[in-house]
Amino acid sequence: MEYRYLGRSGVQVSALSLGAMSLGSMGNTDADECTAIVHRALDAGINMIDTADVYSQGQSEEIVGAAIAGRRDDVVLATKFYNPMGRDRNRCGASRRWIIQACEDSLRRLKVEHIDLYQIHRLDENTDLDETLSAFSDLVRSGKVRMIGSSTFPAEAVVEAQWVAERRGHVPLHTEQPPYSIFVRGAERDVFPTAQRYGMGTLVWSPLNGGWLTGKYRPDEDPAADSRFARVPRGAWRMDSPGARRKLEALDNLEKVASDAGTDLIGLSIAFAMAHPAVSSVILGPRTLDQLESQLPAAEIVLSEDVLDRIDEIASPGTTISRGDLAFEPRSIRHKQLRRR
């Protein structure tokens, strides 16, 4: 396993990380297998685990906390807040009131004394970044959090956060966590260069694009009953959408590239994400132990420039094939009534 510096933090993390979104009721309800997934990842040399309070409404954090008991010092532990945790309208977002409470709740579920990397899960357009970074900074100075980060921030918000931190004397963001895969390359256009400019680590999620880059979806076959198509709202995942059709057209060519490179589509896709110089670690999101085992060999794959060039010809640099894969859009685009104001 290769280890890389997390930006200029001085912390070294494995080139592959374990994402815990699928541990719990959102994915795998078998607690023993979930624990085995964590242990197998650690035994394989993975030293970073990324979870969030909203994953299975706290169950993921509880599973991770129990699984790393006795090995806590070996783990760079990351979690996130922002999404609703219950019906109370103030149990979400990035206000000081919620950040402090959410952190205490995560510490309790994880059964740890500190969080190595605490991240805001999405940009809160209703809260001043000064408010958010002030609360973040207090958590760092109290010793409950070691580093802070953002997830799926647009580049302009990353810049604003760094400026606010500098001008107000707050702790700056150490990391950003954007989606990144062969099919979702928008981060190459702005987020990666911005993170590099500010010395931030970059943790990328969904390198297999929600299963698309495993080859499980085919134009002439119905999705499997246990696939993500069967587990998420159909609006964002439609096999007949323009984006889905473009992905299906690209898959055959990508599988040929993988075969010529001596690997499979999974290995090609994860190795592609690892290859970008801005990437500190690629977050894997296995739902089963078998899925983890199929992904771990990618740690040893180094793609040649010729292979990367062939991928560029199939999926252009800096582009995202499907609008449904855009993890962040400003309110002025999401809400029709705000588009021309």
Q: 239 — alpha (psi -120 to 50), left (phi > 0) or beta?
A: alpha
Residue 263 in tokens: 């690997």
Per annotation, catalytic residue among 55, 82, 118, 217: 55
Sequence-ordered list of residues with C-beta below 8 angstroms from that of 60, at least 6 positions apart, any chain: 20, 21, 23, 24, 26, 51, 52
Dihedral (Cα; 324, 234, 179, 326), 10-degree rounding: 20
Q: Is 115 helix (H, G, I), strand (E, B) or coil?
A: strand
Distance CA 117, CA 41 (A): 19
Helix (H) / strand (E) containing 215: none
Q: Is 82 a catalytic residue?
A: no
Tell me which residue of 162, 234, 164 sits closest to 198, measured CA to CA: 162
User: Measured between alpha carbons, how far is residue 297 from residues 43, 117, 247 in Å?
Assistant: 13, 26, 24
Give the catalytic positions in this structure. Answer: 55
